[in-house]
């Protein structure tokens, strides 16, 4: 019973969400969160599921996807988006409008809500570079707006946003040249094709970049490319990715993550920190 995580995560692995819903508006999210509180049910909010590993035991309670919060628009030098908009649609719009500063994050396969929550980024740019504010529902279901200056954030890290259901965000840009930005965007997308195993299910980089180094370099140097547990494998193309090469369980992926961490620690002394988020019981 329930909805298998293969259907709502990019790893295409993991157990079922007990109840899976897709609210159509911020008001429906507010209603849902009140209902979950009243019934003492946990509520997990996901965008594209592209940075999570769901346990084979599944997700208890309600899992709510944001995909129907899909409004996106540009007003002068500002872009506002609801949380379920695909991040890359926002980036494409910004480049088309000549709004510079996020073009290097082209191709990140998450939602606006997930990208803000993770402070996602690539090639030296990150979500918070251009963030103006976020709106979300707090634990009591009230709609709150937080300005960027009030949200502590760092590399792939934000503080406090895990307590909100993000519903919308706004981004401010300097005026740039759309031709140049679209060209940059094409280069980034081409580079992703060349470097990343986009033909197999994954959730992107498994680990954060350690100080002064790259997780992928350390994993490669430890000789771990191609290492497997069941259907999970360290990508031959990009050692920072674990791919589902067919039939991987979340336990396979989790066991492989543990092996990689232990063997990199033994080989280089570096303790890799997980970037991906584990959901459910492991």
Ligand X SMILES: Cc1cc2nc3c(=O)[nH]c(=O)nc-3n(C[C@H](O)[C@H](O)[C@H](O)COP(=O)(O)OP(=O)(O)OC[C@H]3O[C@@H](n4cnc5c(N)ncnc54)[C@H](O)[C@@H]3O)c2cc1C
CA distance 178 to 175: 9
Show the binding pattern over residues 200-239: x = contacts ligand X (CB under 6 A), - = does not: --xxx-----------------------------------
134 binds ligand X (CB under 6 A): no
Partners of residue 270 on adjacent β-strands: none
Question: Any catalytic annotation for residue 147?
Answer: no
- Residue 21 binds to ligand X (criterion: CB under 6 A): no
Q: Cβ of residue 226: shortest distance to ligand X, in angstroms?
A: 18
Selected catalytic residue, list 205, 235, 245, 251: 205
Nearest distance, CB of residue 230 and ligand X, angstroms: 20
Closest contact distance (angstroms) between CB of 139 and ligand X is 12
Task: Take residue 242 and report the two structure tokens written for it.
Answer: 């674990």
**Residue 217 is a catalytic residue:** no
CA dihedral 82, 86, 88, 94 (to 10 degrees): -20
Give helix 87-96 / helix 178-195 axis angle, nearest 10°. Answer: 140
- Report the residue from 33, 66, 80, 251 that binds ligand X according to the rule CB under 6 A: 66
Catalytic residue, chosen from 156, 216, 245, 251, is: 156
- Interface positions, 157-176, toward ligand X (CB under 6 A): 164-166
Q: What one-character DSSP code corresponds to residue 207?
A: B
| Choice between 150 and 177, CB closer to ligand X | 150
Residue nearer to ligand X on the CB measure, 82 or 249: 82
- Chosen residue from 12, 13, 43, 51 binding ligand X by CB under 6 A: 51
Rounded least distance, CB 31 to ligand X, Å:
16
Determine whether 275 is an active site residue: yes
Q: How far is the CB of 176 from ligand X (least distance, A)?
A: 21
Strands 59-65 and 16-21: parallel
How many beta carbons lie within 10 A of that of residue 197, not counting itself?
16
Rounded distance between C-alpha atoms, residue 249 and residue 257, angstroms = 13
235 neighbors 11 (Cβ within 8 angstroms):
no
- Report CA torsion sign: 269, 272, 273, 277: negative
Report the alpha-carbon distance of residue 132 to residue 241 in Å, rounded.
31
Site for ligand X in 69-128 (CB under 6 A): 83, 108-111, 113-115, 117-118, 120-122
Structure tokens at 28: 């429906």
Residue 187 burial (10 A CB sphere; 0-12, 13-18, 19+): middle
Q: Is 52 in the site for ligand X (CB under 6 A)?
A: yes
- Which residues lie near ligand X (CB under 6 A)? 10, 44-52, 66, 83, 108-111, 113-115, 117-118, 120-122, 164-166, 196, 198, 202-204, 277
Residues tagged active-site = 156, 205, 275
């Amino acid at each position: 019973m329930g909805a298998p995580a293969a259907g709502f995560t990019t790893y295409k692995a993991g157990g079922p969400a007990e109840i899976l819903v897709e609210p159509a508006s911020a008001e429906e999210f507010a209603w849902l969160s009140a209902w979950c509180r009243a019934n003492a049910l946990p509520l997990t909010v996901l965008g594209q599921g592209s940075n999570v590993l769901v346990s084979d035991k599944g997700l208890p309670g309600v899992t709510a996807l944001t995909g129907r919060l899909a409004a996106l628009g540009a007003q002068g030098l500002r872009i506002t988006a609801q949380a379920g908009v695909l991040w890359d649609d926002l980036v494409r719009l910004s480049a088309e409008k000549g709004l510079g500063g996020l073009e290097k994050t082209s191709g990140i396969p998450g939602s606006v809500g997930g990208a803000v929550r993770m402070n996602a980024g690539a090639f030296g740019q990150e979500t918070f570079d251009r963030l103006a504010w976020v709106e979300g529902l707090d634990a009591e279901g009230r709609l709150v707006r937080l300005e960027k200056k009030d949200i502590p954030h760092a590399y792939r890290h934000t503080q406090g946003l895990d307590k909100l259901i993000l519903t919308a965000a706004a981004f401010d840009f300097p005026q740039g040249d759309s031709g140049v930005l679209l060209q940059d965007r094409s280069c980034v997308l081409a580079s992703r094709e060349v470097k990343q195993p986009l033909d197999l299910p994954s959730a992107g980089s498994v680990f954060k970049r350690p100080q002064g180094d790259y997780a992928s370099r350390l994993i490669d140097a430890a000789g771990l490319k191609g290492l497997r547990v069941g259907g999970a494998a360290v990508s031959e193309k990009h050692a920072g990715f674990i791919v589902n090469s067919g039939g991987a369980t979340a336990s396979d992926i989790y066991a492989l993550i543990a092996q990689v961490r232990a063997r990199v620690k033994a080989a280089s002394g570096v303790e890799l920190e997980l970037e991906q988020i584990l959901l459910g019981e492991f």
